[in-house]
Every structure is written in C-alpha cells, then in structure tokens.
C-alpha cells in the first residue's frame, strides 16, 4: 500500500438482511458490498425501500430480531467481522468506535432525560468518566457543535430545543467518544433548508477536526454532491453503481442513476421562455418479497433489453474504483 493511500476502515462484503412475515422473506439487503476508507465521506443514495438504512442498521447490529435477520455476509472493521461479535462485545464498539446519527432526533433522543444526561452517558459508558467530568465534557461537545449557552442547554429536555438544535445534540452524542466511523442516516431530512446547510457545514468541519470517516445515507443528491468523495447507488437491496462523485455526476452509467440525476431540480432551468420539466422514474420499486427475474430495475428501465428480463448482471468493475450492475456495460455471458 502506498503511504499516501488511505486505508480501508470498513469492508462490507455480501451482506444479506431479510425480514420474515407470513407473505415470505423480504430481501431488504441482498448481497451488498462496499468499503469505506479512513477520513472519507461515502454517499449512499437511492429511493425509499432501496435498503440504505437497513444496511446501516445491519452494520450496527440494530436489526430487530424477529422479524429481521442478517443471514449472510461479512462486515470487517479493524480486522474483526462485526457479525461474529456478541451483543456485549458490539456494545463496546457501538457509540464508541462506530457511531450513528438517526433521521429524526425527536424519536432518537429520550424525552425524559436532559440533553446533558444523554451525552454524559457516552463518556460514562465508554470512557469510565465520573458524573461531573462527563457533564463538563458534554458542555464542551455542545460548544463544539455550536449550540449557544451550552451550560444552560445541558439541563434542558429534547422538546425544549428546536429541530436544528436537537440534530446538533445528536451529532454531539455521536462524536463524543471520537469515533473512527460516523454513519449519518438522512441527517437533514426533517430540517428546513437554511438549517440543513448549517448542519452539513458543521459535519464537514467536525469530520476534519476529528478525522472521522463518514457514511452519509440520503436520497438528496444535492447533499451528496456537497459532501461525498464517492457514491454508492442502491436499488431494491442491491448496489447498482459505485464511482467517485464527479464521475457519477458527469457520466452516470446505470439507467437508475441517470433517472435519479434527471429528477433533480436545476436552478435557472427556465431559459428563453422554455421550462425544463423534471423527469420522473416511472413505476415503483418492486416488492422485496416477490422480486422480478433478471434485472430488478428492468420493469422501470427505458433501455431494457431481452437479456435484462432473463438474467441479472453482476456488479462488475468497469474501471478502477468504478462498478456497475447493467447489461449495457457488462459483457453478456456466452449462451
């Protein structure tokens, strides 16, 4: 390995997570593989139901069992397969070396404990700090995430804070123990646009300060363009494309990625009296209980071919650092 090349800190390989019901097994994550390098921001994008959040919860071993179950795969972190660890062993890593910011802070923060108590718990649990020391460290974390008057805020409850403040408190909790990996699951969805920009700017600054690798999960490609160095595109529980961010935006290969990019509103699209209409991806994500044969995007793809309906292509390396799952770019096998 070259000295300047960042090391791979997280390697997910063949991950499969299914949810079981009377209708059958919903293959929410079905053979997902990707890696995260030290200090980088990796964007994971896709529609609702594509498996983004379930992948993150699987990494953290937070899948409710039943009805969910991780049935196959490996999640290597620092030479250890996290899926082999016991619940107690995973608790030492979760929140300490790998932390997660959830989509809606109001449901993630405990309403009956103060913000200071909830952040202090991280220092007490993972750093063996005393109550007073933990409270002082919590004040410092609130200061770092730019919450005004942190000495007062630590004594307040979640409902007393605005949405942006609650999200900052969640970030403070996640970064309290200086984790090596931060998983951010739609961290700005519930916030208004101006607060979104502040939170994203804050996350980038803290990433630089802490040197934390970030897995950013979102459906907002505008956020990804601002934050990520690489992008993983997911559809129906599978990775369909992976590439550096600039390459995805300049030359998307998978028709699904093309559709996602064409659905982004563009400032100044009204020119010479003409209006550029947003393009939608027709149809719906297929049921994960009864997925179609062949390419899972085939029923919605404007460039579908006969082979697409018969066989699903493998996720194939096109160039260094670029992979795609599409017969338009993969050599079909000999019949």
Q: What is the mean pLDDT of residues 177-200?
A: 82
Contacts for 161 with CB less than 8 Å, ≥ 6 apart? 115, 153, 169
**CB-count exposure of residue 293 (10 Å: 0-12, 13-18, 19+):** exposed
How far apart are the C-alpha atoms of 101 and 183, rounded to whole Å? 6
- Check if the beta carbon of residue 184 is closer than 8 Å to that of residue 217: yes
How far apart are the C-alpha atoms of 253 and 29, rounded to whole Å? 22
Q: pLDDT tier at 275 (50, 70, 90 boundaries)?
A: low
The total number of residues shown for the chain amounts to: 335
pLDDT in tens, 189-245: 767 777 778 778 888 887 888 788 999 998 888 888 888 999 999 999 999 999 999
Summary mean pLDDT of the chain: 88
- Pairing between β-strand 230-235 and β-strand 41-45 as defined by DSSP bridges: parallel
pLDDT recorded at residue 274: 52
pLDDT recorded at residue 4: 59
Is the pLDDT higher at 98 or at 195? 98
CA distances from 305 to 57, 210, 241, 266 (A): 35, 48, 19, 31
How far apart are the C-alpha atoms of 106 and 287, rounded to whole Å? 30
Q: What is the DSSP string of 231-244?
A: EEEEETTEEEEEEE
pLDDT in tens, 117-133: 999 999 998 888 899 99
Question: Please, what sign has the CA dihedral across residues 186, 191, 194, 199?
Answer: negative
pLDDT at 184 over 80: yes
pLDDT recorded at residue 35: 96
Instruction: Please name which of 106, 109, 119, 266 lies closest in space to residue 191, comparing C-alpha atoms.
Output: 106
- Check if the beta carbon of residue 182 is closer than 8 Å to that of residue 214: yes
Q: pLDDT tier at 160 (50, 70, 90 boundaries)?
A: very high
- Check if the beta carbon of residue 230 is closer than 8 Å to that of residue 321: yes
3-state secondary structure of 133: helix
Q: What is the mean pLDDT of residues 321-325?
A: 93
pLDDT recorded at residue 68: 93
Q: pLDDT tier at 335 (50, 70, 90 boundaries)?
A: low
pLDDT at 102 over 70: yes
To the nearest whole percent, how much of the chain has pLDDT over 90?
59
pLDDT at 115 over 70: yes
- Check if the beta carbon of residue 19 is closer than 8 Å to that of residue 28: yes
Instruction: Please name which of 100, 122, 116, 203 lies closest in space to residue 154, comparing C-alpha atoms.
Output: 116
How far apart are the C-alpha atoms of 152 and 145, rounded to whole Å? 15
pLDDT in tens, 10-56: 999 999 999 999 999 999 999 999 999 998 999 999 998 899 999 99
- Check if the beta carbon of residue 70 is closer than 8 Å to that of residue 58: yes
Q: How far is CA 335 from the centre of its chain?
A: 38
Q: pLDDT tier at 267 (50, 70, 90 boundaries)?
A: low
How far apart are the C-alpha atoms of 279 and 61, rounded to whole Å? 37
pLDDT at 144 over 90: no
pLDDT recorded at residue 258: 94
* Cis bond before residue 44 (omega within 30° of 0): no
- Pairing between β-strand 316-319 and β-strand 322-324 as defined by DSSP bridges: antiparallel
The total of other beta-carbon atoms located within 10 Å of residue 315's CB is 19
pLDDT at 1 over 50: no
Q: What residue segments make up the domains of the chain, in order of their start?
A: 105-176
pLDDT in tens, 47-95: 988 999 999 999 999 999 889 999 999 999 988 999 999 989 999 999 8
Instruction: Please name which of 159, 205, 207, 166 lies closest in space to residue 183, comparing C-alpha atoms.
Output: 207
């Amino acid at each position: 390995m070259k000295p300047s090349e960042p090391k791979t800190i997280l390697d997910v390989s063949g991950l499969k997570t299914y949810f079981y019901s009377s209708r059958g097994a919903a293959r929410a994550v079905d053979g997902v593989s990707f890696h995260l390098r030290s200090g980088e921001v990796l964007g994971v994008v896709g529609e609702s139901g594509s498996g983004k959040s379930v992948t993150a919860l699987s990494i953290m071993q937070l899948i409710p069992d039943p009805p969910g179950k991780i049935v196959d795969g490996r999640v290597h972190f620092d030479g250890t397969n996290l899926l082999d660890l016991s619940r107690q062993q995973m608790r030492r890593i979760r929140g300490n070396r790998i932390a997660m910011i959830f989509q809606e802070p109001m449901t993630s923060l405990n309403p009956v404990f103060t913000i200071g108590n909830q952040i202090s718990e991280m220092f007490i649990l993972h750093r063996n700090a005393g109550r007073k020391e933990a409270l002082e460290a919590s004040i410092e974390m609130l200061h770092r995430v730019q919450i005004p008057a942190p000495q007062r805020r630590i004594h307040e409850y979640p409902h007393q804070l605005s949405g942006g403040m609650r999200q900052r408190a969640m970030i403070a909790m996640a970064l309290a123990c200086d984790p090596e990996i931060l998983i951010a699951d739609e961290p700005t969805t519930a916030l208004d646009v101006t607060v979104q920009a502040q939170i994203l700017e804050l996350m980038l600054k803290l990433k630089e300060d802490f040197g934390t690798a970030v897995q950013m999960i979102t459906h907002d490609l505008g956020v990804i363009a601002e934050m990520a160095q690489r992008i993983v595109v997911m559809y129906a529980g599978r990775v369909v494309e992976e590439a550096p961010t600039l390459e995805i935006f300049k030359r998307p290969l998978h028709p699904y990625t093309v559709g996602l990019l064409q659905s982004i509103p563009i400032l100044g699209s009204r020119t010479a009296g003409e209006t550029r209409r947003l393009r939608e991806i027709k149809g719906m994500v297929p049921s994960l209980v009864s997925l179609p044969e062949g390419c899972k995007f085939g029923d919605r793809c404007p460039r579908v071919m006969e082979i697409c309906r018969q066989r699903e292509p493998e996720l194939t390396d096109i160039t260094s650092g670029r992979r795609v799952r599409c017969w338009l770019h993969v050599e079909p096998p000999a019949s």
